[in-house]
Amino acid sequence: MTEGISPGRPRPGAGLRKGTIIKKKLNQAADVAEDVTNSRALEVVARAGFAVSGILHFFIGLIAVRLAVGGEGQADVSGAVQQLASQPAGPLLLWGSFAACVALAVWQTSDAVFDFEHLPRDKKITKKVRAALQALVYAGLSVTLGSFALGTRSDNSRSTSDMTVQVMSAPGGFVVLLVIGIGVAVAGVIYAIRGFRRSFLKYLRMPSHGHARTAVTATGVVGYTAKGVALFLAGLLIIMATVQARPEESTGLDGGLKALREQPFGPYMLAAVGAGLICYGIFMAVRSKLAKM
């Protein structure tokens, strides 16, 4: 027996070696996960997620234009998915769109976890947070698409109103709703600024042909601006409903666009926003091909 070491007692440094082994295995698992989420196969499906977002925005824009000329419809994601479901081979389109949005959510989650490590701390945090938020957006889209594919259809305006009422009645609900409303409105401003400044171009590999570059830039500017306006209106509606203690009036994007229709020159403004959302949908479809992944 080695002097100074009692039977059954761990040898000096055993815990350290065990911790090193565990850390090594975790790093290996992380490397495998990163390789899988950066695979070519996942990238192809994830790119399709941008196209799905484009199709849904295209439908929302069409519904908004229809509302502007006196028609009916639900100008939000739920209404857009309903339009998608009504197309020939609707169930196939829904499941394919669901898979694409899940893949893009996984891809964005991978970016948030593994990427941007070479950047300065401030830029790294900003990029990771942005990727995480994008992952949540596409995860939300996949949930909506999946519920429609399974036949569990939901009314986004109604569910938004119900959720707002529940949050309002909870302790601190007023502050939470106010923060959400401000956050959505600020997101709208950011989208509009991104459109005016054309900062979205840095995320694309632009085509070499001059006319194609101009077309992509123009649809992006108009689309981002229109989406910014739509989000700002939705956020403003949440803020107003919260301040006036009428949470049932917070009906999300659909409510914001319909409220715009009731303003002076509202139908014309709503038609312009709808046309802009159509442009954003076209831009997102193009992004599926040009995006830097």
Q: Is residue 24 part of a domain?
A: no
CA angle 222, 224, 227 (to 5 degrees): 105
Q: Is residue 78 part of a domain?
A: yes
DSSP H or E run through 242: helix 210-243
Q: Is residue 73 part of a domain?
A: yes
Do the Cβ atoms of 52 and 101 come closer than 8 Å?
yes
Which residues contact residue 267 at a Cβ distance below 8 angstroms, ignoring those fewer than 6 apart?
68, 69, 70, 261
Please count the structural domains in the chain: 1
Where in the sequence is the domain holding 196, given as residue range(s)? 29-290
Tens digits of pLDDT across the chain (293 residues)? 444 555 555 555 555 565 565 655 555 544 555 555 667 888 889 999 999 999 999 999 999 999 998 888 888 888 899 999 988 888 999 999 999 999 999 999 988 887 777 778 888 888 888 889 899 999 999 999 998 988 876 555 555 555 666 666 666 767 887 888 898 899 999 999 999 999 999 888 888 888 889 999 999 999 999 999 988 988 888 787 777 766 555 567 777 888 888 888 889 989 999 999 999 999 999 999 888 87
Q: Is residue 103 part of a domain?
A: yes
**Cα separation, 197 vs 182, whole angstroms:** 22
Model-wide pTM > 0.85: no
Q: Is residue 218 part of a domain?
A: yes
Q: Is residue 236 part of a domain?
A: yes
Q: Is residue 10 part of a domain?
A: no
Give the burial class of 274: count Cβ atoms within 10 A of its Cβ; 0-12 exposed, 13-18 middle, 19 or more buried.
Answer: buried
φ, ψ dihedrals at 291, nearest 5°: -60, 140
* 3-class state of residue 204 by DSSP: strand
